[in-house]
Structure 1
Amino acid sequence: MDLICGTLVNHKGKLGLLNGGSRRFELWVLVDAETREWSKNVSVLPQPLWENAAGKDKLYIVGVAGGTDEVVLWRYVNRLYVYYYNMEKNTLRRVKINGTDAVRDYTAYMTLDYVEDVKLMEHV
């Protein structure tokens, strides 16, 4: 299993950079922009937990879910799965997304907290 990495995230209202690879996450958070001080948090998932959830598939880092501060990952191999990794509790949840069988052309992009405004607007 491999991670595609290097994602800018909002971590508790601060700028963060999330890197990952081979069951290891590094979260760099900008503590002070003037002094360029960064904090580093390293998390390593236990091998059995990681292999049971993801196997040897590539996981893509999406970002950090607002409100829960969980790292969001996803993969598409015949089925779409979204993973939530809690760095503080060292837990991993997998969610299967149903109804995607008709769509076969997935790319490695997913966004968090996106809301579309479908309100009709008048042309002036």
Structure 2
Amino acid sequence: MAMKLQILSVRNHGDAAQEHVLLRAKEDCNTVKYLLADSTYFDNGNVSNKLRHFFWLPSKDVKKGDLVSVRTGKGKNTEVINPQGTTVHRFYWGLEAPVWNDEADCAVLVEASTWQFHRAKG
């Protein structure tokens, strides 16, 4: 089963206020099933298993062709219509430091159909 969101690009890397990962909806879906993480890749093209910063996308229904921009910095989640008439859903991670600041960084998109949690203490 193919993922309904796809990574298009990482833009403005190294500037926390401007950097973002741009995703496109390949089908209608809800974004809450997706997590974005940064990792590194090796010279052979494989991705490291050292996943670092994670961002769990908030729940939002998106339509096929919509864009999702996960912005590193602070801001209020919004929707805008771009000049092409496509809806862009902007989500803000709320970080002060850039995530995508090294040559070997890569964005990893994970679809989680189900999950569980348990308090570590208490």
Q: TM-score, normalised by structure 1?
A: 0.30
Structure with larger RCO (C-alpha < 8 A, sep 6+): 2
Q: TM-score, normalised by structure 2?
A: 0.30
Question: Max radius of gyration: which structure?
Answer: 1
